[in-house]
Amino acid sequence: MARTISYREALNEALVQEMERDQSVIVMGEDNAGGAGAPGADDAWGGVLGVTKGLYDRFPGRVLDTPITESAFVGAAIGAATRGMRPVAELMFIDFLGVCLDQIYNQAAKFRYMFGGKAVTPVVIRTMYGAGLRAAAQHSQSLYPIFTHIPGLKVVLPSSPYEAKGLLTTAIRDNDPVIFCEHKALYDTTGEVPEEPYTIPFGEADIVREGDDLTIVAFGRMVSVAAEAADELARSGVRCEVIDPRTTSPLDEETILESVENTGRLVIVDEATPRCNLATDVSALVARQAFGSLLAPIEMVTPPHTPVPFSDVLEDLYIPDAQRVVNAVKNVMSWER
């Protein structure tokens, strides 16, 4: 039965249900038990923003609190995955990926390819991305395009509580390394989520809203921004189709191309900085495979090519909002050959 819970609770429920279903699922990372300034298991925070809260007591010995050593515990998780476990490692802020990149892109991503399909690496690396929480330049980036670039990794960007639970369940059951990117500003958002375990397949986009005037492709938290813009545009008679790819690798190219072939216009909303991000990737896809359908140039709504500002005012300006999406759509709609 579906009921309304938060994105954070949906993720926690997926972890609980999969740990109950499969003894090989373990959780590891910094502050999974304990937390900044907390005494440890007696006051287990469940990670810095509380996603794994309650797991430490519920699954004795299967929730590992690690030191601040991403290179060590991410490597350990990958190694455990090759030996039959299903670890879910928490890389806290995505900004810290640099210190464990070798373990991810040079090892885990390649095992299946290098061993002729005989090796499986069922590891999930959960990580937080995104601006808006006043966490400054070193804790606010949207670096999912880096993982998307690496063959052998699956990359997931859940945009709502429903997607969060279903996609995390799929990620844990998947036999390949999955980078699971959670937006910090979504943890308190709520939505209808079934109580039962369920899965959402990778590589299938969600059509959040149907329309035939223009296609908006949006990623992660930008999905709700795009939907808000589409609501406003609908009041002025512009019907936008909003597509949430849900996973950037694999990417549901077919749904995007079908939509653009129908609408002839495309706006892409991506919180990652504009060079070599998902907006440029989707733009290239459409320009190459649906060029004949385009009635206007493609627009990309992204932050500027700068680090995330520390100033509250500048950070608010940095993040794409619904008004910027509305302006981009109007710009595309007004274009004439």
Nearer to other proteins, 188 or 254 (CB): 254
Cβ-based burial of 136 (10 A; exposed 0-12, middle 13-18, buried ≥19): middle
Tokens standing for residue 240 = 């936008």
Smallest distance, Å, CB 200 to other proteins?
6
Location of structure tokens 């694999």: 250
Nearer to other proteins, 194 or 264 (CB): 194
* Three-state SS letters, 128-176: EECCCCCCCCCCCCCCHHHHHCCCCCEEECCCCHHHHHHHHHHHHHCCC
Smallest distance, Å, CB 254 to other proteins?
8
Taking CA atoms, 247 is separated from 200, 321, 327, in Å, by 10, 22, 26
Smallest distance, Å, CB 198 to other proteins?
4
Nearer to other proteins, 207 or 294 (CB): 207
Smallest distance, Å, CB 204 to other proteins?
5
Residue 183 falls in the annotated catalytic set: no
Q: What is the dihedral of CA 107, 108, 111, 117, to 10 degrees?
A: -170
Smallest distance, Å, CB 201 to other proteins?
6
Nearer to other proteins, 59 or 198 (CB): 198
Footprint of other proteins (CB under 8 A): 1-2, 162, 166, 192, 194, 196-201, 204, 206-207, 210, 254
Nearer to other proteins, 243 or 319 (CB): 243
Rounded CA-CA distance 157/18 in Å is 19
Which residues are designated catalytic?
139
